[in-house]
A = this chain, B = another copy of it.
Amino acid sequence: MYKPLTNKKIYLASASPRRRQLLTNLDVEVSLIPPREVDESYPDDLPPEHVAEYVSRKKADAYTHDIEPGCVVITADTVVICDNEVLGKPHGGAEGARQMLRRLSGKEHKVVTGVTLTTYEHGMTSFSTTTRVWFKPLTDEEIDYYVSKYSPTDKAGAYGIQEWIGYIGIPRIEGDYYNVMGLPLHDLFMMLSTLN
């Protein structure tokens, strides 16, 4: 364990095993709490880059009434922005996932993760981190193989950078790689360090 980053007890409210693993990688003590039911909708006129942070705050809202002194609760949301439009998880099963990947194929998109830290003492602090990602032109054969083998229907943008399509299809990113996986570890580590 790295020295306590903060004197608060750290809780992660997330159902995502990847996010849990990422946070554990910081070598800090983390407790998991089950995520609560949240309406993840957002106003139509919210700029796309603000959506993830907005949703992470909505997720945090569910804990503000019963958070205890000395604790910090982390909530997060990740979205993909392509042609200025927010893409969440694909609808319509495998065909929805294939459509989303055809849309990302051969161009740049952004991945934004919004993170909210909630404490009894200070309320909510939130931030978001953006990484630019480039997909090579994907062939139908590559998309079909990936979707049928890896079932990415539970992922924003219908892909995991840490899966086959990320290995063969992404020649370039600009920013924090772990942000694309679901948590901006560098920024989160810095924020936790300043939280007392």
Interface residues of A (CB under 8 A from B): 2-3, 22, 25-27, 136, 141, 145, 149, 161, 164, 167-178, 185-187, 189-190
Contact = CB atoms under 8 A, between A and B. Distances in A.
Given A3-B141, A141-B3, A186 B170 contact: yes
A176 B180 CA distance: 13
Nearest to A178: B167
A145 B2 contact: yes
Contact of A173 (B141, B167, B169, B173): B173
Contacts of A174: 172-174
A178 B177 CA distance: 10
B173 A177 contact: yes
Given A3-B141, A167-B26, A186-B167, A175 B172 contact: yes
Contacts of A145: 2-3
